[in-house]
A and B are shown apart, each in its own frame.
Chain A
Amino acid sequence: MTTMPLGAQTAVRSTAVAARATDLTKVYGQGETQVVALDRVSVDFRQAEFTAIMGPSGSGKSTLMHCMAGLDTISSGSARIGDTELTGLNDKKLTRLRRDKIGFIFQAFNLLPTLNALENITLPMDIAGRKPDQQWLDQVVETVGLSGRLKHRPSQLSGGQQQRVAVARALASRPEIIFGDEPTGNLDSRSGAEVLGFLRRSVRELGQTVVMVTHDPVAASYADRVVFLADGRIVDDMQAPTADAVLDRMKRFDAKGRTS
């Protein structure tokens, strides 16, 4: 499998695009120490699709996510969330965009220890000064299975439960897209499977769009599609992945790394 031309992809799927990168380039440093983290990357993330970004260390997968999510600046090219072009937005507008259109799930240190679970879930709305949609909130809380633990503080919850709170928080404000940075990286396999299950359900049942960076083939197998990055370029795009297929693909990187 190779990267498909953009036009062909949209034509085939004919689904709306939640986020799009066009010739996205990210360069760190200058002169001698210059490192090209992303080299003219073009990729679409479709609505109501669960996409995993994979690649070996230093492939630029986290950088791609950060740039797409408006957490990092772009050297050249374009990154869009829905209809909004991120390049050229100032910090205030970027912040508002993240607040209103994007949900985040991080690897760890995800929750504020001073707030209880419910307060953590509604935090983005509190920041925006909005009232949460109660019905939606109930549905989200129900989906992630936290109904009995809303008054608990993060320190009273297990790692898996904390990450489920984080998933609920990302979902609660109905963002256009949710980005996850190794969301199961700090979890044991059972809790990880739970969290990934919720993410998949949110896509299938709630129509959410999720983009997740991971290095775990099992995690990637929960996604509808896997995008492979190496040396700052997209090298492969796999639909309906299985853990074995992903593992095989990853092994080829390793082999290439060793022979080159």
Chain B
Amino acid sequence: MFRTALRNVLAHKARLMMTVLAVMLGVAFVSGTLVFTSTISDAYRKSSQKAFDTVDVAVQPHKADRKDGAPGAAPRLSRQTLDKIAALPGVSSATGTVGGFAAVADKNGELIGGGFSSAGGNYFPGKDGKDARYPMKDGRAPRSTGEIALDARTAERGHFKVGDTVRVSVDGPVLKQKLTGVFTTDDGNVSAGGSLALFDTATAQKFWAKPGEFDQIDVKAAAGTSQAALKDRVEKVLPRDSEATTGKQLADEQAELISQQMDGMRTVLLAFAGIALFVGIFLIANTFTMLVSQRIKELALLRAVGASRRQVTRSVLLEALVVGLVAAVTGFVAGIGIAVAMRSFMGGDAIPDGPLAIPGTAVIASLAVGVGVTVLAAWLPARRAAKIPPVAAMSSVHAVATTRSLVVRNTIGGVLAAAGAALTAVTSDKAMMGLGAAVLVIGVFVLTPLLSRPVIAAAAPLLRGFGISGKLARQNAVRNPRRTAATASALMIGLTLITGLTVIAGSVQTAVNKLATNTIKADYVVSMASMTGLSPDVAEKLRASGKVTAVSPLRQGASRIDGSYENLTGVNGKDAGRLIKADFTAGSFSALSGTTVVVDDGMAKSHGWKVGSTFPATFEDGKKDRLTVGGIYKGSGEMLGGIMIDNAALTPHLAEVHDRQVWIKTKGGATDATKKELRKTLGDNPAIKIDDKDDIAASIAKVINLLLNMLYGLLAMAVIVAVLGVVNTLAMSVFERSQEIGMLRAIGLDRSSVKRMVRLESVVISLFGGVLGIGLGVFFGWAAGQLIGKSLATYELVLPWGRMGIFLLLAAVVGVLAALWPARRAAKLNMLAAIKAE
């Protein structure tokens, strides 16, 4: 029997190719995902280990918010602590570190590296005058204010040589620094494509801390002292609000964090692989059904000469096994290719380098999935094959399409679809909605044969233009509803996801845009590229320039009110009304001065405040004051909310004054010229963004589009599998109808009309899948929007008609492409062989 199975596999090469391709794509996706995620995790783990090589014990201040005392202020480590630790026995060196954001501009004034990965730090010379973390490649370390060292890659990217002047910005103003040295480092941020600028410790402390204070102290053990022993010793000399951690622990924590992030990504990717496989199952089942129906005579002959049912089943399953095995192996190899491609596509240099990691689980999963799915999909056709009566070998009757009743199927489908739709529409829980969506998709899936007739009938007027070919195509498309359904479903699933995501993304984007335009009255919002704080100088400079008519820095402060932590947003009380659009239910911005504040309606309600109410607040520096409610406005989620206070009242309580953003109104409104002038006022600083409303909308759109494009790429996989499915169905149809086609040719249908007929059938089936998919996608988009709308007040359903049109067109193109080969086959069919009724 094995030989028979093997011969069969080899006898139908084209079909074999299609089946193998379908399984292969699924397997490739699964193995690619596994290999990709484990490669990245490994690389991150290694780079984090490298970064903690020089640290045996790290001392950090407690970050936890203390219930008593001043809220929000970040404690730091003092020079005394450092000296105490350095003097401990078993300590080889103690390095105090301080760091933050530092943007470096290249010679054209452009920012090097992304906004978030521009870091600055201190060069901390040890006993030998050198900092072990940063070996100098060129020149020397920075020693005094005005000197800077850059990592080798940044220096190279900016074409800087030792002695050059480098423009740097830490919190707004541009600083001109002399490049004294270029160093190499294995810092994770730098190997991931970021920049690192080093200053002497005193300068760094001035930037990011206070003189004599450190963010962290890294302790290196002397030979013979264990990390644990060192940690015990260090802990004895630590002040109350700080803690010591061993280097190993830090590395482990980071590795754990990375693998958690990777897990999320892996889950998403595997979900896509699952979809590709799910679609693949239909394709494979279809293929084997076709193989069996094509071989009825052959199988019946086997039965007639004495093969048992079990042997026939086994021969078909064996065939599936061979196909599955070949596909799994090739798919696995292709998967490794996908992993490599994904790494270069997603990361560029944002992902640390590392060798390709091929975990054993990937190998096993690929084989199991490939072989398992194929054999599973071939099971039913194999059973059907075994039921072929031996007498079929003698009769000339070809396989007649099953006309089994669809009543049971339709009932089940109807119940599932209704339950799924109801659950999706009503629930306000994410998990329940996911469940509802899955049930609905399965329900519609079961119902597709029923839906195929009315939906395809609706396309009749369009097909009428194609004459007899169109008419025959339409009728052929509904002839075997089960098969049409299986084919269309493959496309449906892909398009449901694509449409759903597009609807949600489009709606969210519109909502966020609206939020921005609803809130911002200012012409420009000035902020740091890294979203770190701006120096108050920036606001002052802008105010001093003749162009600006209203300025308000948005300053962040912490407070404790009624025992709970609340954010205070400091604004310029005088100008706030002209810059911020807020919907006041009582009072207005004009009340905003001194200790009179405005609060959002949610807060007012929960605290029972009205205009004129007063309440006590504790500021960051521990001082207490009574604040008066001067106005209540409607909060709008992310953009606008909480307590707004005049900067004059807030600033004295702040340890370090930084502005999150500066909002400004200019004389001529937002124009390119104005923007240029403002840029110049701020010294053409690359680290500062000056955004008008359009810029803000564009930057949101950019993020959402990037995300969408990535998802489209992944879903393309499901669509490719769907194309193969349509090809398969059509090939099967053409085969089953070869006599009909022969008759049509004999009575005068020419080749091009035959081709057109097959093509139209394909397009009709594809469009059917497309319409169902887009319909379901819109429904899911709407349902998910109901959830999102709860946290995003301006959310409303926006239907991307243009994109939906493109998707439908895509479905039609899928149909045309898939029909190429089957149509050719149909047209080339030997008329005489077809009509000879042997």
- State whether B832 touches A109 (Cβ < 8 A): no
A156 within 8 A of B: no
Q: Which residues of B, 776-832, contact A by the 8 Å Cβ criterion? A: 831-832
Report the separation of the CA atoms of residues A109 and B479 in the bound assembly, to the nearest whole angstrom: 16
Cβ contact of A114, chosen from B472, B739, B747, B832, cutoff 8 A: B472
Q: Which residues of B contact A123 (CB under 8 A)?
A: 468, 744, 747
Q: Which residue of B lies closest to A124 (CB)?
A: B747
Q: Does any Cβ of A come within 8 Å of B714's Cβ?
A: no
**B467 contact from A92, A110, A126, Cβ within 8 A:** A126
Q: State in angstroms the CA–CA spacing of A228 and B352 once bound together.
A: 87
In the complex where A109-B739, A112-B740 touch, is A95 in contact with B745 (Cβ < 8 A)?
Answer: yes
Closest to B752 in A: A92
Q: What 0/1 pattern do residues 75 to 119 of A give for CB contact below 8 A with B?
A: 000000000000000011001101110011011111011110000
Given contacts A66-B832, A126-B468, A126-B471, contact A109 B837 (CB under 8 A): yes
Question: In the complex, are the beta carbons of B747 and A104 less than 8 A apart?
Answer: yes
- How distant is B741 from chain A, measured CB to nearest CB, in Å? 10
Label chain B's interface by main secondary structure: helix
Tell me how far the C-beta of B524 lies from the nearest C-beta in chain A, rounded to whole angstroms. 67
Q: Contact string, B740-778, partner A, CB cutoff 8 A, digits 1/0?
A: 100111111111010000000000000000000000000
CB-defined contacts of A112 to chain B, threshold 8 Å = 472, 740, 743-744
Looking across the interface, which residue of chain A has its beta carbon closest to that of B479?
A114
Expressed in whole angstroms, the minimum distance between the Cβ of A245 and any Cβ of chain B is: 28
Query: In the complex, what distance in Å separates the CA atom of A125 from the CA atom of B833?
Result: 25
Residues of B within 8 A of A (CB): 467-468, 471-472, 475-476, 479, 739-740, 743-751, 753, 831-832, 835, 837
Write out, one digit per residue, whether chain A residues 47-76 have a CB within 8 A of any chain B CB (1) or not (0).
000000000000000000010010110000
In the assembled complex, the Cα of A95 lies from the Cα of B754 at a distance in Å of 12
Check A96–B748 contact: CB distance below 8 A: yes
With known contacts A96-B748, A126-B467, A109–B475 Cβ distance under 8 A: no
**Residues of A close to B831: CB separation below 8 A:** 71
Contacts of B749 in A (CB 8 A): 95, 99, 127
Q: Is the CB of A100 within 8 A of B748?
A: yes
- B837 and A72: CB pair below 8 A? no
Q: Of the candidates A127, A181, A185, which one forms a contact with B748 in the assembled complex, judged by CB atoms under 8 Å apart?
A: A127
Output the residue of A95, A104, A106, A126 with the most chain B CB within 10 A.
Answer: A95
11 further A-B contacts with Cβ under 8 Å, apart from A109-B739, A127-B468, A127-B744, are: A98-B747, A103-B747, A108-B837, A109-B835, A109-B837, A112-B743, A113-B479, A114-B479, A115-B475, A123-B744, A127-B747
20 contacts between A and B (CB under 8 A): A71-B746, A71-B831, A72-B832, A95-B749, A95-B751, A96-B750, A98-B747, A100-B748, A108-B837, A109-B743, A109-B835, A109-B837, A110-B743, A112-B472, A113-B479, A115-B475, A126-B468, A127-B468, A127-B748, A128-B748
Interface centre among B479, B740, B835 (most CB of A within 10 A): B835
Minimum CB–CB distance from A2 to chain B (whole Å) comes to 31
A99 touching B747 by the CB < 8 A rule? yes
Q: What residues of B have a CB within 8 angstroms of the CB of A100 in the complex?
A: 748
In the assembled complex, A129 has its CB within 8 A of some CB on chain B = yes
- Which residue on A lies nearest to B742, using beta carbons? A109
Contacts of B837 in A (CB 8 A): 106-109, 185-186
Q: Which residues of A sit under 8 angstroms from B739, Cβ to Cβ?
A: 109
- The answer for the CA separation of A126 and B476 in the assembled complex, in Å, is 17
Query: Whose C-beta in chain A lies nearest to the C-beta of B750?
Result: A95
Chain B residue with the shortest CB-CB distance to A62: B836
A169 CB contacts on chain B under 8 angstroms: 747
Min C-beta distance of A122 to chain B, whole Å: 10
Minimum C-beta distance from A53 to chain B (A)? 16
CB distance from A171 to the nearest CB of B (A): 13
Among B468, B476, B479, B753, the most chain A Cβ lie within 10 Å of the Cβ of B468
Contact A104 B746 (CB under 8 A): yes
B476 adjacent to A114 (CB under 8 Å): yes
Assembly CA distance A149 to B475 (angstroms): 20
Of B479, B744, B750, which is within 8 A of A92 by CB?
B750
Residues in A with CB closer than 8 Å to B479 are 113-114
User: For A185, what are the chain B residues with a Cβ–Cβ distance below 8 Å?
Assistant: 837
Q: Which residues of chain B come closer than 8 Å to A103, judged between CB atoms?
A: 747
Q: Name the residue among A99, A107, A114 with the largest chain B CB count within 10 angstroms.
A: A114
Residues of chain B within 8 A (CB-CB) of A113 are 479, 740
- How many Å lie between the Cα of A123 and that of B837 in the bound state? 21
Q: How far is the CA of A115 from the CA of B750 in the complex (A)?
A: 19
Inside 8 A of B745's CB, which chain A residues have their CB? Answer: 95
For the complex formed, measure the closest distance between the CB of A96 and the CB atoms of chain B, giving whole angstroms. Answer: 7
Alpha-carbon distance between A65 and B749 when the two chains are bound, in angstroms: 19
Partner of A129, one of B467, B740, B746, B835: B467
Which chain B residues border A104 with CB–CB below 8 Å? 743, 746-747
CA distance A185 to B748 in the complex (A): 23
In the bound complex, residues from chain B placing their C-beta under 8 Å from that of A128 are 748
Q: When A109-B740, A112-B472, A127-B468 are in contact, do A95 and B748 touch as well, CB less than 8 Å?
A: yes
A121-155 CB contact bits vs B (8 Å, 1 = yes)? 00110111100000000000000000000000000
- Which residues on A sit within 8 Å (CB–CB) of B748? 95-96, 98-100, 124, 127-128
Give 1 or 0 for each of A162-205: 1 = CB within 8 Å of chain B CB.
00000001000000000001000110000000000000000000
Closest to B475 in A: A114
In angstroms, Cα B753 to Cα A110, docked, is 19
Q: Is the CB of A91 within 8 A of B743?
A: no
List chain B residues, Cβ under 8 A from A108. 837
Specify the chain B residue showing the minimal Cβ separation from A123: B747
User: How far apart are B394's CB and chain A's nearest CB, in angstroms?
Assistant: 15
* CA gap between A96 and B753 in the complex, in Å: 12
CA distance A93 to B332 in the complex (A): 52
A129 CA to B748 CA, complexed, in Å:
11
CB distance from A254 to the nearest CB of B (A): 22
How far is B479's CA from A260's CA once the two chains are assembled, in angstroms? 53
Question: Which residues on A sit within 8 Å (CB–CB) of B476?
Answer: 114
Residues of chain B contacted by A127 (CB below 8 angstroms): 468, 744, 747-749, 753
Instruction: For A115, list chain B residues within 8 Å (CB).
Output: 475
Q: Once the chains are docked, how many angstroms separate the CA of A186 from the CA of B836?
A: 13
- When chains A and B are docked, how far (Å) is the Cα of A185 from the Cα of B835? 14
Chain B residues closer than 8 Å to A91, beta-carbon distance:
750-751
Nearest chain B CB to A170 CB, angstrom units: 8
Kindly list chain B residues whose C-beta atoms are within 8 Å of the C-beta of A181.
835
Q: Which residue of B lies closest to A169 (CB)?
A: B747
Instruction: With both chains docked as a complex, state the minimum distance between the C-beta of B265 and any C-beta of chain A, in angstroms.
Output: 49
Distance between Cα atoms of A186 and B837 in the complex (Å) = 10
In the bound complex, what is the Cα–Cα distance between A109 and B747 (angstroms)? Answer: 13
Q: Nearest 8 pairs between A and B by C-beta?
A: A99-B748, A114-B475, A108-B837, A95-B750, A109-B739, A107-B837, A126-B468, A98-B748
Complex CA distance for A196 and B750, rounded to whole angstroms: 30
C-alpha gap A185/B745 in the complex (Å)? 22
CB distance from A115 to the nearest CB of B (A): 7
Q: Name which residue of chain B comes closest to A107, CB basis.
A: B837
Bound Cα distance A32, B743 (Å): 33
The distance in angstroms between the C-alpha atoms of A255 and B739, with both chains bound, is 36
Give the CA-CA distance A69 to B746 in the complex, in Å: 9
Chain A residues closer than 8 Å to B747, beta-carbon distance: 98-99, 103-104, 123-124, 127, 169
CA distance A188 to B739 in the complex (A): 22
Pairwise interchain contact B468-A106, C-beta atoms closer than 8 A: no
- With A98-B748, A100-B748, A114-B472 known to touch, is A71 a contact of B832 (CB < 8 Å)? yes
Closest chain A residue to B396, Cβ basis: A108
Contacts of B472 in A (CB 8 A): 112, 114
How many whole Å from B483's CB to the nearest CB in chain A?
A: 14
Q: How far is it, in angstroms, between the C-alpha of A139 and the C-alpha of B476 when the chains are bound? A: 31
A98-B746 contact given A66-B832, A109-B739, A112-B740, CB 8 Å threshold: yes
Query: By the criterion CB–CB under 8 Å, are A106 and B471 in contact?
Result: no
Cα separation A40 to B475 with both chains bound (whole Å): 45
Q: Which of chain B's residues has its CB closest to A111's CB?
A: B743
Cβ of B214 to closest chain A Cβ, rounded Å? 83
Contacts of A114 in B (CB 8 A): 472, 475-476, 479
In the complex, the chain A residue whose C-beta lies closest to that of B835 is: A106
